[in-house]
Amino acid sequence: MRLQSIITPYKYIRFAGKIVSAIRSYHYAMKRNITSLAFDRLGRRLGAMQATRGHLVRGLSEILNPISLVRYFEFDFCLRQLPKTPKTILDISSPRLFPLYLASQLKNTKFILLNPDPFDGELSKYCIKLLGLDNVEIYNQGVRGLLNTHKKSFDFVSSISVIEHIAGEYDDTKALSFMLKYLNPGGVLALTVPLSENKRHEDEYLPDGCKPYEGTHEVQGKNGRFFFQRLYTKASINERLLCWLHAHKVSLSWWGEREKGFYERYSNSSAYNCGNDCRAFIDNFCQYKSYTEMPGMGICGIRITD
């Protein structure tokens, strides 16, 4: 009993320390005027709304760290690809803050969100209700779910860190071809993929005993573990995603860690997802002019116009 009385206040003190760290990280980012802070603010607002409506743990978690580390680049990159006056936008399984922020700013634009994860889809519907958005529809389907009814229907299609997870019945190459079929003539597709720290294409598998979430293809490797994601190189991006796009205009952007190994160390530390991600991104990641300049892991932003 006495031990418990010591542990409980200690937990509150630790959490208070994380809140202070998160506030400092936010103000540090404000001074540098990074675009992604608009998403950050919406995430904290959603967290507060959830916390005051009985979802205390989830709400406090989102107040503390609304955006995970590399999302600060990915959100900013995809936002910059947005056409000036899109009438229709399709988002394919991106972190919900990205399409919900756009929907809150573009009230006259129609949004459709595709998400095969039923739990995540329901949480997105709840957030849409909290924000009072009436221009967003969610379909519990994968990337090709609306092809029969919505071909050439969208001015902008976004998909943040999704395509690398697609395997099984169809792979990343086929998934990209599906995404492009949704575009109106002159439309824009913006997507991001992770880059291997070791400059070689890698397939990652989930730990023993872990299964993919419901609604995704369950692909097992020779080791019996389920497929998780691909880590690309510039060569594998070209081979798997771009080499067949002869009639499309493609541009690539590169962001990555300044020092090889930082992401690995940070993502395995107690600071990760605990309020420091914004500052960690600013201090330890930057944009590179080319893939060859990058010392370690990173993200490739891909813009494709029809």
- 207 or 286: which carries more pLDDT confidence? 286
Question: Largest alpha-carbon pair distance within the chain?
Answer: 71
Q: Is pLDDT of 11 > 70?
A: no
How confident is the model at residue 249, as a pLDDT?
A: 93
- For 34-59, the pLDDT digits (tens) are 778 899 999 999 999 999 999 998 99
Whether 281 contacts 255, CB under 8 Å? no
pLDDT tier for residue 248 given thresholds of 50, 70 and 90: confident
How confident is the model at residue 6, as a pLDDT?
A: 42
Strands 227-231 and 202-205: antiparallel
* Residue closest to 282 by CA, chosen among 62, 60, 25: 25
- For 65-113, the pLDDT digits (tens) are 899 999 999 999 999 999 999 999 999 999 999 999 999 999 999 999 9
| C-alpha neighbours within 13 Å on the C-beta side of residue 109 | 26
Per-residue pLDDT, averaged over 204-217, amounts to: 75
Give, in degrees to the nearest 5, the angle at Cα 86 between 74 and 119.
Answer: 55
173 Cβ contact list (under 8 Å, min separation 6): 240, 241, 244
Please give the backbone phi and psi of residue 300, each rounded to the nearest 5 degrees, phi first: -105, 125
Whether 287 contacts 255, CB under 8 Å? yes
Q: Is pLDDT of 2 > 50?
A: no
How confident is the model at residue 1, as a pLDDT?
A: 43
Domains of the chain in start order, with CATH, are: 67-305 (3.40.50.150)
208 Cβ contact list (under 8 Å, min separation 6): 224, 225
CA distances from 2 to 5, 15, 18, 251, 277 (A): 5, 21, 25, 61, 35
Segment holding 305, helix H or strand E:
strand 298-305
pLDDT tier for residue 216 given thresholds of 50, 70 and 90: low
